[in-house]
Chains A and B, each alone.
Chain A
Amino acid sequence: MLHRALASLLCALGAAALGLGIASATVWRPSDTLVAQAQGAPGTSLLVTDPGVLDLAADEVTVRASATSGTVVIALGRSADVDAWVGDDAHTRVTGLAGWHVLATEKVAASAPEAANPPADAAGDPSAAPAAEDPAAAPAAPDPSAAPAAEDPAADAVPDPAGSDLWVDQASGERAATLEWTRQDGRWSVLVAATAGGVPSVALEWPQVVTTPWLVPGVVVGSLLLLIGIAWWVLILVAGRRRARVAAAPVPEPAALAPAEPALPLTRRQMRELEEQRSSRKRHERETVLARFPTLVTGPKASDDSQEGRERRGRHGSDDVSAQQAVAVARPPGEGTRGRHGAAAPTASAAEQSRSCRSEQTRGAPASGRTAGGLLGRLRRRPAGTPAPAPTAPVEPVAVAPAPPLFTTQRARTPAASADAWRRAWGLTGADSTQGPVTTAATPTEEPPEAPPRRRRPDGSER
């Protein structure tokens, strides 16, 4: 029981380790990217990363920016350039990571000289685009500043970094833009601008080197444990079956007790039930068991058993009988006592038949004794069933003992027509002549003499 529990535990542990190992590389596999996001502080249309933020988690970074409306611009340049471009405008600075998926931000309010800045912004930045369209605007700074102001509702509030010569790389798009960057020496920053106003948001995505350190150990250890557990279970099962087979052999021991049964008041039905139990239990291996059976059984009970079994078997089919005969006959007569005894049952019959005939012919008394013995044997076999045995029983063991086995064996050997058996049991031997040929085995002559004493001896010693 403990072994089974341990084996089961091993199996469970192995399966668990296997599953966990695989899951660590599949379901629980960490993400290939680290993504951290930030939202610009309210009131800032510009967002700037500090130097070092871009290559925070990997040398390559993908910058995704979005804005609620209008064009969003991502510009990448030297940190000094970005800071200079932003100047005194209000903006949001990304200073690092606040969590694994959140960027730390910090709002930088517009500086005091803002009032001085607008004209500069208007003249500097927009001059790139509108100046070409507006011939009159370009030469004179003050005037054109009015033109861009008319275009931008909030004047300089919405600066557009697009197209500046400062940027090493830039991207822009309607509401969303993406820019990829590979680390270079120096200090670099990214500038995100929502050109239509509003607040931009940014997400930095770094590729991560994902390792699955638990996959191989998990699979190896898990499958090892699982295999060991399964092997253990197999061993347990095999051992269990062997033990069961070994345990099946002692089962006939109740049969060894059976010889005592005649003394006990067993009814015929009880006996039949016992017999049925026994036969049903090992019907599938009857042949071998039966072959071995007599070896374990001592005394007449063996003949009883075999007889009963044969009767029933005979009822089932004659081929059973023949098979059994074949087995029984095949046993060499000279083999140990058990073997001979086992063989005795079948082989004796021929000799017995002949002898019984002979005895009938030669002596009259024995003949009656034989019939009486037959009757007695019959009675003894079914002590409770028949009223008759009571008076005759005391006589039987001594005088007629040799005879009954002849009948029993003989009957056992015949195709077991019950009528025939009864007829013979009652001394009506008319059917005997037909039975002679059935037992074709060339029975050794010494067999008949040997069988009876053997049978008698235990009988006598017991009672």
Chain B
Amino acid sequence: MTRVRAVALSTAVLFLAGCSVPLPTPAPDALPAAMQPAMSVEQAEDIVAEVSASLADADAALSVDVPGPRVTGPAATIRSFQYLLVTAGLADALTVIPSGAQTLVLPTTDEWPRTVMVVTEPPEDLQAPLLLTLVQTEPRAPYQLWSWVRLFPGVQTPALAQPELGSAPVAPDAPELAVSPTEVLAQYVDVLTNRDASPYAAAFTADPLRQGIAQTKDAFVAVVGANGSLTETYQPDAAGTYSMATADGGAIVVGTVRTVTTITLVDSTLKIGDQTAAILGTDTLKSSLAITWLSVVAFAVPPVGSDAPIQVLGAEHSRIEVTGA
């Protein structure tokens, strides 16, 4: 009898044991061997749209000091000045920044700061598309527009990895490039300063920005002539550089150059035009003029070991400060 009972009991226990299901435990996907983009294309598009919307609000408000929460760095500086210009009556001073993205360069990283580069659709005024650089400085910060660059006409950007694969961010002192981003800026400044005498003149392709800066300086020099003195200095901006790897192992480097033009007049007057005059409120200066320019420049830097020249993809050159009397 006890045996029968024991058998029945063990059978019941086995039955119940068979019925009970063990608690499921978390089984997360393994960390991928290759770093994945930090965001999806949809997320990136949302971010671009958010930035664009925020910028549009700021543009409407024309709040000179604050171009909105989504703009930072050189972009904020330039935008603020553009608001000043608009306020001064130059309604077309605002750079139109399209909200549509043509190409996304998404970072493969899990660290901060994170950088996203965007080639926009061509603006409505049939100008060249813009290259936007968005930066998230830390996890709890939003992505902000750090800079925009007008791509030069006829320029061809290097091949970029698909956004689904992502592009590796490149550190300012990255050794895998023919020239590190920081060094690129320094060399470019040297070229601006010394022009063809610079040892790096041949390292860069000719570009409209360099031509334009030279022409502007030459023009001022010609105007001022013997009636005064003119000095112009170039230096890499403290804002630094942001770089994203391209498909060929090179990188797109975005950096800023600060140009300061100082004119001192001796017993003479200087006729100035458009923007400077608008800011200063007068078109005739009697003693001095100081203009600070901020140039955002985008370079395509070849990978290490390549003899190809550094290509200047585009630039945004804007006054950011004007003083004169």
Binding site for B on A (CB under 8 A): 50-53, 56-57, 78-81, 84-85, 87, 95-97, 99-100, 120-121, 124-125, 127-129, 131-132, 135-136, 138-139, 159, 161, 163-166, 168, 185-187
Q: Does B141 contact A (CB under 8 A)?
A: yes
Q: Which of B26, B43, B137 has the most CB of A within 10 A?
A: B26
Asked whether, in the complex, the Cβ of A56 is within 8 Å of the Cβ of B136, the reply is no
Q: Which of B26, B50, B139, B140 contacts A51 (CB 8 A)?
A: B26
Roughly how many angstroms separate A166 CA and B43 CA in the complex, as a whole number? 8
| Inter-chain contacts of B32 with A (CB < 8 A) | 186
| Inter-chain contacts of A99 with B (CB < 8 A) | 23
Q: Which of B7-15, B62-70, B238-246, B317-325 sits within the interface?
A: B62-70
Roughly how many angstroms separate A56 CA and B23 CA in the complex, as a whole number? 10
Q: Which of A80, A125, A164 contacts B110 (CB 8 A)?
A: A80
B contact residues, total (Cβ < 8 Å): 34
Asked whether, in the complex, the Cβ of B26 is within 8 Å of the Cβ of A50, the reply is yes
Question: With A52-B28, A165-B47 given, is the CB distance from A85 to B140 under 8 Å?
Answer: yes
Roughly how many angstroms separate A53 CA and B139 CA in the complex, as a whole number? 22
Question: With A52-B26, A57-B24, A96-B25 given, is the CB distance from A165 to B69 under 8 Å?
Answer: no
Q: Does B146 contact A (CB under 8 A)?
A: no
Q: Does B142 contact A (CB under 8 A)?
A: yes
Roughly how many angstroms separate A128 CA and B136 CA in the complex, as a whole number? 12
| Inter-chain contacts of B31 with A (CB < 8 A) | 187
Q: Does B27 contact A (CB under 8 A)?
A: yes
Q: Which of B28, B69, B112 contacts A50 (CB 8 A)?
A: B28
Query: Mind listing 29 A-B residue pairs with CB under 8 Å?
Result: A50-B26, A52-B26, A52-B27, A52-B28, A56-B26, A78-B38, A80-B110, A81-B139, A96-B23, A96-B26, A97-B23, A100-B23, A124-B141, A125-B141, A127-B142, A131-B69, A132-B69, A136-B65, A138-B66, A138-B69, A139-B65, A139-B66, A163-B142, A165-B43, A165-B50, A165-B142, A166-B139, A168-B40, A187-B29
Interface class of chain B by DSSP: loop
Question: A103 → chain B, closest Cβ, in Å?
Answer: 11
| Inter-chain contacts of A166 with B (CB < 8 A) | 39, 139
Question: With A57-B24, A84-B112 given, is the CB distance from A135 to B140 under 8 Å?
Answer: no
Q: Does B138 contact A (CB under 8 A)?
A: yes
Roughly how many angstroms separate A53 CA and B24 CA in the complex, as a whole number? 10
Q: Does B36 contact A (CB under 8 A)?
A: yes
| Inter-chain contacts of B47 with A (CB < 8 A) | 165
Question: With A81-B139, A186-B36 given, is the CB distance from A131 to B66 under 8 Å?
Answer: yes
Question: A188 → chain B, closest Cβ, in Å?
Answer: 8
Q: Does B81 contact A (CB under 8 A)?
A: no
Question: B142 → chain A, closest Cβ, in Å?
Answer: 5
Roughly how many angstroms separate A84 CA and B139 CA in the complex, as a whole number? 6
| Inter-chain contacts of A164 with B (CB < 8 A) | 139-140, 142
Asked whether, in the complex, the Cβ of A81 is within 8 Å of the Cβ of B142, the reply is no
Asked whether, in the complex, the Cβ of A135 is within 8 Å of the Cβ of B65, the reply is yes
Q: Which of B26, B63, B138 contacts A95 (CB 8 A)?
A: B26
